[in-house]
Structures are given as structure tokens and as C-alpha cells.
């Protein structure tokens, strides 16, 4: 089996140059972490199903559960719909996550979700479509916009890691929450996904993948 195709953002270098001019704090972080940018696997359904399977458990546990799901079935909507909740739960998924993944598969299989439309849709329209699926909230949809669709200007203000980085680097450790992230967000306008990725690096040098 061929490995999944991986894409990287074509705008990354341009975004870094712009952000470095605007924000000296971010410039220092980007210089400290000059490695590869975030990347995207091309299969939208697989990316979303994997994100549901990994919710609220450790990375190690999520990898183990996902490996068993992959051993059970091809990760395609019609294939997964052949298995009932009991079979999916036997892979280590909770009953609720098994329900969520089947609901996701049904949305793709029925055409309620059609990835081919996304290039013409703005970020909020894609989010609105995705959150119709059980188990996908705004944060998961924002991660999908960043890491799968490679949208350049997503600001996941409710992300606790981003809030922590902003608090430490821009507000002397004051707990400013999502409001503080939104307050400083215009500084990175146009490239807020890139700024977020590097602010996460300031807390954990190992890049996140979805």
C-alpha cells in the first residue's frame, strides 16, 4: 500500500517573512524552530475520523485504538458503515466515539459532506458544515481547516495551548483566555494559522500532526 500523500503550505515562507516584520516576539520563535512546516494528508474522511478517535485520550492510546480500527476496515465511509457499533467499540473506541465515526461516515456516504465544494467555501461555511456531524465541535473543525485544508488565517482562540502561549509571551503570564488571543490576533491577520503553529512550538517543540 502506498503511503498517504502529504502536502505542505505553499505560502509558508511568505507568511513567515510577513509575520517576522510585524511581530518581534514571533520572529524569535520562528528563528528557534526553523524546521518543516505543518503538513496535510489528503484524505478528509480519514483525517476527521482519526481526530474523533483521539479525542480526550493520550497520543499513545489514540495511536493504539486507531491501529485497531485500521486493521478492522478500510478507512472509507462505505466500508466503515458495514460494521456495527459493537465491532467498532471492540477496537477500543467508546460507544459514543463509535457512534460519532459512523455518523461521520454516513455524512460522507450520503453526500451531506462533499469535500469537492470546500475550495469555494470560506472558513466559516466549512466549519458550519462540519459541526453538523456528531462529535465535531468548532475546535475540531478549526484544526481540520488548519491541518487538512491548510487554510492560512485560522485563529483557534479557544485552544488552551494557544491561550497559554499568548499569556506567557504577550501578557506577562496573566490568564487572558480566548479574549486575549482575539485581542492580539489582528497582529497576525492573514497568517494566523502560521502564527498559531509557532506559538504552539514555543510550548512543545514536537509539531502536531492530524
Smallest Cα–Cα separation from 167: which of 153, 156, 183?
Answer: 183
- Do residues 87 and 72 make contact, with C-beta atoms less than 8 angstroms apart? yes
Average pLDDT over residues 130-155: 93
String of DSSP letters for 89-129:
HTTT--HHHHHHHHHHHHHHHHTSS-GGGGGGS-HHHHHHH
Mean pLDDT lowest for which of 28-37, 51-60, 117-126, 192-201? Answer: 51-60
Give Dmax over CA atoms of the chain in angstroms: 54
Where in the chain are all domains bearing CATH 1.10.340.30? 40-147
For 40-147, CATH gives: 1.10.340.30
Catalytic annotation, pick one of 84, 153, 159, 204: 159
Beta strands in 127-182 (DSSP E): none
Q: What is the pTM of this model?
A: 0.84
**Section 17-30 average pLDDT:** 97
Burial class (CB in 10 A: 0-12, 13-18, 19+), 124: exposed
In CATH, 6-38+154-203 is 1.10.1670.40: yes
Return the pLDDT at 3. Answer: 46
Domain with CATH 1.10.1670.40 in the chain: 6-38+154-203
Helix (H, G, I), strand (E, B) or coil at 12: helix
pLDDT at 116 over 90: yes
- Give the pLDDT mean for 148-153: 94
> Are 201 and 33 in contact, with CB atoms under 8 Å apart?
yes
The whole-number pLDDT of residue 209 equals: 58
Q: What percent of the chain has pLDDT over 90?
A: 73
When comparing pLDDT for 206 and 48, which is higher? 48
Q: Is 123 a catalytic residue?
A: no
Please check the confidence at residue 140 and state whether its pLDDT lies above 60.
Answer: yes
Which range, of 2-11, 58-67, 79-88, averages the lowest pLDDT? 2-11
To the nearest whole number, what is the mean pLDDT of the chain? 90
- 80-108: average pLDDT: 95
pLDDT number for residue 2: 46
Strand, helix or coil for residue 77: helix
3-state helix, strand, coil in the chain (%, to 5): 60, 0, 35
**Helix or strand holding residue 163 (H, E):** helix 160-170
Tell which wins on pLDDT, 206 or 120: 120
For residue 61, what pLDDT is reported?
Answer: 87
In this structure, what C-alpha cell is assigned to residue 204? 512543545
Averaged pLDDT, 123-152: 93
**How far is it, in rounded angstroms, from Cα 88 to Cα 110?**
20
Query: Which pLDDT belongs to residue 57?
Result: 81
Position 34 scores a pLDDT of 85
Q: Which residue has the higher pLDDT, 153 or 33?
A: 153
Query: Between 7 and 9, whose confidence is greater?
Result: 9
Amino acid at each position: 500500500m502506498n503511503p498517504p500523500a502529504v502536502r505542505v503550505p505553499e505560502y509558508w515562507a511568505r507568511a513567515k517573512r510577513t509575520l517576522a516584520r510585524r511581530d518581534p516576539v514571533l520572529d524569535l520563535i520562528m528563528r528557534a524552530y526553523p524546521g518543516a512546516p505543518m503538513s496535510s494528508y489528503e484524505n478528509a474522511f480519514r483525517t476527521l475520523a482519526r481526530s474523533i478517535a483521539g479525542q480526550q485520550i493520550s497520543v499513545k492510546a489514540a495511536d493504539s485504538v486507531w491501529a485497531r480500527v485500521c486493521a478492522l476496515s478500510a478507512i472509507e465511509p462505505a466500508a466503515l458503515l458495514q460494521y456495527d457499533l459493537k465491532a467498532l467499540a471492540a477496537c477500543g473506541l467508546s460507544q459514543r466515539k463509535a457512534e460519532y465515526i459512523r455518523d461521520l461516515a454516513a455524512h460522507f456516504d450520503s453526500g451531506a459532506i462533499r469535500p469537492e465544494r470546500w475550495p469555494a467555501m470560506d472558513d466559516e461555511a466549512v466549519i458550519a458544515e462540519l459541526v453538523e456531524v456528531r462529535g465535531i465541535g468548532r475546535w475540531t473543525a478549526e484544526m481540520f481547516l488548519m491541518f487538512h485544508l491548510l487554510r492560512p488565517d485560522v485563529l483557534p482562540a479557544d485552544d488552551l495551548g494557544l491561550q497559554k502561549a499568548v499569556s506567557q509571551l504577550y501578557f506577562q503570564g496573566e490568564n487572558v483566555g480566548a479574549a486575549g488571543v482575539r485581542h492580539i490576533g489582528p497582529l497576525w491577520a492573514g497568517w494566523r494559522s502560521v502564527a498559531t503553529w509557532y506559538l504552539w512550538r514555543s510550548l512543545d517543540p514536537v509539531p502536531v500532526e492530524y
